[in-house]
Amino acid sequence: MFFEASTRTRLSFETAMKRLGGNCIGFTGSDGSSIIKGETIADTSKMFESYSDAILIRHPLEGVAKFISDIVDVPVINAGDGTGQHPTQTLLDLYTIKEEFGKIKNLNIALIGDLKYGRTVHSLSYALGIFGAKMHFISPNELKMPDEILHDLKKKKISYHETNNLKEVIDDLDIIYITRIQKERFPDLEEYEKIKDSYLIDRNLIENKNLIVMHPLPRTDEINHDIDNTKYNKYFKQAFNGVPVRMAILKNLIKR
Ligand code: NCD
What does the pLDDT read at residue 181? Answer: 97
Task: Give the SS3 label for residue 129.
Answer: helix
Q: Whose CA is nearest to atom 6 of ligand 1?
A: 216
What does the pLDDT read at residue 28? Answer: 93
Q: Other CB atoms closer than 10 Å to residue 25's CB: what's the count?
A: 7
179 in Cβ contact with 218 (< 8 Å): no
What is the DSSP-derived secondary structure letter of residue 145? P
Q: Point out the ligand 1 atom lying closest to the alpha carbon of residue 9.
A: 7
Decide whether any atom of ligand 1 lies within 6 Å of the 113 Cβ: no
Residues of the chain with CATH 3.40.50.1370: 8-82, 87-240
Active site residues: 8-9, 37, 58, 86
Distance CA 227, CA 241 (A): 19
243 in Cβ contact with 92 (< 8 Å): no
Out of 10, 83, 86, 220, mutate this one to test ligand 1's pocket (max ligand atoms within 8 Å of CB): namely: 86
Decide whether any atom of ligand 1 lies within 6 Å of the 12 Cβ: no
Task: Give the SS3 label for residue 138.
Answer: strand
User: Sign of dihedral through CA atoms 141, 144, 150, 152?
Assistant: positive
Q: How far apart are the first and last CA of the chain?
A: 22
Decide whether any atom of ligand 1 lies within 6 Å of the 123 Cβ: no
Cα-trace Rg, the chain: 19
What does the pLDDT read at residue 150? Answer: 98
What element of type H or E holds 239?
A: helix 235-253
- Nearest in space to 98 (alpha carbons), one of 238, 239, 253, 250: 238
122 in Cβ contact with 86 (< 8 Å): yes
Decide whether any atom of ligand 1 lies within 6 Å of the 86 Cβ: yes
115 in Cβ contact with 144 (< 8 Å): yes
CATH number 3.40.50.1370 is the correct assignment for the domain at 87-240: yes
Decide whether any atom of ligand 1 lies within 6 Å of the 219 Cβ: no
What does the pLDDT read at residue 256? Answer: 67
- Please give the distance, rounded to the nearest whole angstrom, from the Cα atom of residue 161 to the centre of ligand 1: 24
Distance CA 227, CA 203 (A): 6
Q: What is the pTM of this model?
A: 0.97
Out of 217, 221, 240, 246, mutate this one to test ligand 1's pocket (max ligand atoms within 8 Å of CB): namely: 217
- Please give the distance, rounded to the nearest whole angstrom, from the Cα atom of residue 41 to the centre of ligand 1: 22
What does the pLDDT read at residue 173? Answer: 98
Considering the segment(s) 8-82 as one domain, its CATH architecture is 3-Layer(aba) Sandwich (3.40)
- Nearest in space to 243 (alpha carbons), one of 2, 9, 52: 9
Packing angle of the helix pair 235-253, 8-19 (nearest 10 deg): 50
Q: Whose CA is nearest to atom 8 of ligand 1?
A: 216
What does the pLDDT read at residue 33? Answer: 84
132 in Cβ contact with 105 (< 8 Å): yes
**Cis amide leading into 218 (omega within 30):** yes
What does the pLDDT read at residue 36? Answer: 87
The list of the chain residues with pLDDT below 50 reads none
